[in-house]
C-alpha cells in the first residue's frame, strides 16, 4: 500500500497486535455504538466481532475503504454491503479451535445424556443408565473447510469413523449431492458449512427423513441452514436428536417451539467465543496488516461464493 499513514479502524487496542505496522494510523472504533468523523478516511476496516448485519451499516459511509477484514469465519452478515473494488477477507482460522471444541462438547454431552444428568441434579435425583458412546459411530462432517478439518482432528482419538462432505467432491471428500446416500449410514451429522443460497434450508424434511433413526444432528454453521419447522417436527416425532449452537432467528425468541423440543440441546451461538479466539484473531489481523504494509496480497480473500 502507498500513501501517508492510511487509517485502520480496529475493534480492539492495536497494542493487542504486539507489533502493528507503523505504516498505518489506528483508531479503536465500534461503529455500532458511535461513528467518528474519520469514517470517510478509513481504508482498512476490522468490524467488531458480531454476526449481525449491523456491523455493515457504516460501510456505505467509508468512501476511502479498500479492505475489510472480518473476525468471523462466515461473511454472510457483511458481504452484500462491501462495494465493488473493496477486498473482503474472512476470519478463516480464528475460530477453528474454539468451534471444534464446542462440536466435541455438544456431541459428547448429547450422546452421553449430560443435559439429563444436569436436570436430575437440580431435582436431587440419581439417574443411572446406559447411553451411546462416540466410539464405533460414524460421523458425517457436512462442510470440510478449516473448521471441518479441525473437528476431524479432534474426533480422531475417539475411535469413530469420519465421512467428509463438501460442496464439490475431491479426493477423500464427498459432494453435497451425495448426501441422500450418506445420511442413512451416519450416527452423527455435523454441519460446519457456510451459509450460501445453496446451503440455505439444506436440512429440510427430506434431509431429516434420510437420517438414521436416533441419529444426532449438530449445527455450528448458521441457523438458516436448517429448516426449523422440519427440525421441530422430527424432534417431536423422536426420529432424531439435535444439538444446535445457531438458530434462525437469533437470539432465539422465548416463544420459539424449539425450546420445548425433546432430544434437543441448545447453546447460544458460542462456537467462537472462548479464550482461544482472541490470540488467533490478533495474530491474523497483525499478519494481514503487515502483508498490506509490504504491498502484498492478503489471505482469506472472498473472491467467490466461498
Catalytic residue among 92, 95, 174, 269: 269
CA distance 59 to 51: 15
54 a catalytic residue: no
CA distance 281 to 78: 18
Domains and CATH numbers, the chain: 7-94+275-293 (3.40.50.720), 96-266 (3.40.50.720)
Cβ partners under 8 Å of residue 58, min gap 6: 31, 35, 39, 45
What pLDDT is stored for residue 1 in this prediction? 46
By three-state DSSP, how is residue 243 classified? strand
Q: Which of 294, 301, 240, 248 is nearest to 2 (CA)?
A: 294
222 a catalytic residue: yes
Catalytic residue among 131, 250, 294, 296: 250
92 a catalytic residue: no
Return averaged pLDDT per consecutive 10 residues of the chain, 306 residues in all: 79 96 96 95 94 83 97 88 95 95 98 97 97 98 95 98 96 97 98 93 98 98 97 98 97 97 97 94 98 96 73
Record the pTM.
0.89
Half-sphere exposure of 127 (CA within 13 A, CB side): 15
What pLDDT is stored for residue 303 in this prediction? 80
Instruction: Let me know: does 107 contact 190? Beta carbons within 8 Å.
Output: yes
What pLDDT is stored for residue 3 in this prediction? 53
CA distance 277 to 99: 9
Instruction: Let me know: does 74 contact 83? Beta carbons within 8 Å.
Output: no
Catalytic residue among 92, 222, 241, 280: 222
Instruction: Let me know: does 174 contact 215? Beta carbons within 8 Å.
Output: no
Amino acid at each position: 500500500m502507498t500513501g501517508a499513514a492510511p487509517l485502520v479502524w480496529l475493534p480492539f487496542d492495536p497494542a493487542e497486535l504486539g507489533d502493528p505496522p507503523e505504516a498505518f494510523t489506528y483508531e479503536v472504533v465500534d461503529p455500532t455504538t458511535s461513528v467518528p468523523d474519520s469514517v470517510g478516511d478509513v481504508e482498512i476496516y476490522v468490524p467488531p466481532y458480531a454476526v449481525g448485519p449491523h456491523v455493515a451499516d457504516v460501510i456505505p459511509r467509508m468512501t476511502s475503504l479498500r479492505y475489510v477484514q472480518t473476525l468471523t469465519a462466515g461473511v454472510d452478515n457483511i458481504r452484500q454491503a462491501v462495494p465493488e473494488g473493496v477486498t473482503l477477507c474472512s476470519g478463516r482460522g480464528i475460530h477453528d479451535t474454539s468451534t471444534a471444541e464446542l462440536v466435541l462438547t455438544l456431541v459428547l454431552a448429547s450422546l452421553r445424556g449430560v443435559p439429563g444428568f444436569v436436570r436430575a441434579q437440580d431435582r436431587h435425583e440419581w439417574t443411572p443408565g446406559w447411553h451411546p458412546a462416540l466410539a464405533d459411530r460414524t460421523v458425517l462432517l457436512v462442510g470440510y473447510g478449516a473448521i471441518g478439518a479441525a473437528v476431524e482432528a479432534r474426533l480422531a482419538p475417539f475411535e469413530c469413523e469420519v465421512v467428509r462432505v463438501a460442496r464439490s467432491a475431491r479426493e477423500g471428500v464427498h459432494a453435497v449431492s451425495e448426501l441422500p446416500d450418506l445420511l442413512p449410514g451416519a450416527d452423527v451429522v455435523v454441519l460446519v458449512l457456510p451459509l450460501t443460497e445453496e446451503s440455505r434450508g439444506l436440512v429440510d424434511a427430506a434431509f431429516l427423513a434420510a437420517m438414521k433413526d436416533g441419529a444426532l444432528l449438530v449445527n455450528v454453521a448458521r441457523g438458516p441452514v436448517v429448516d426449523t419447522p422440519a427440525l421441530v417436527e422430527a424432534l417431536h416425532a423422536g426420529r432424531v436428536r439435535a444439538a444446535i449452537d445457531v438458530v434462525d432467528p437469533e437470539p432465539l425468541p422465548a416463544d420459539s417451539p424449539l425450546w420445548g423440543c425433546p432430544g434437543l440441546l441448545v447453546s447460544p451461538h458460542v462456537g467462537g467465543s472462548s479464550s482461544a479466539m482472541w490470540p488467533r484473531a490478533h495474530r491474523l489481523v497483525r499478519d494481514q496488516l503487515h502483508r498490506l504494509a509490504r504491498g502484498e496480497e492478503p489471505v482469506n480473500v472472498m473472491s467467490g461464493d466461498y
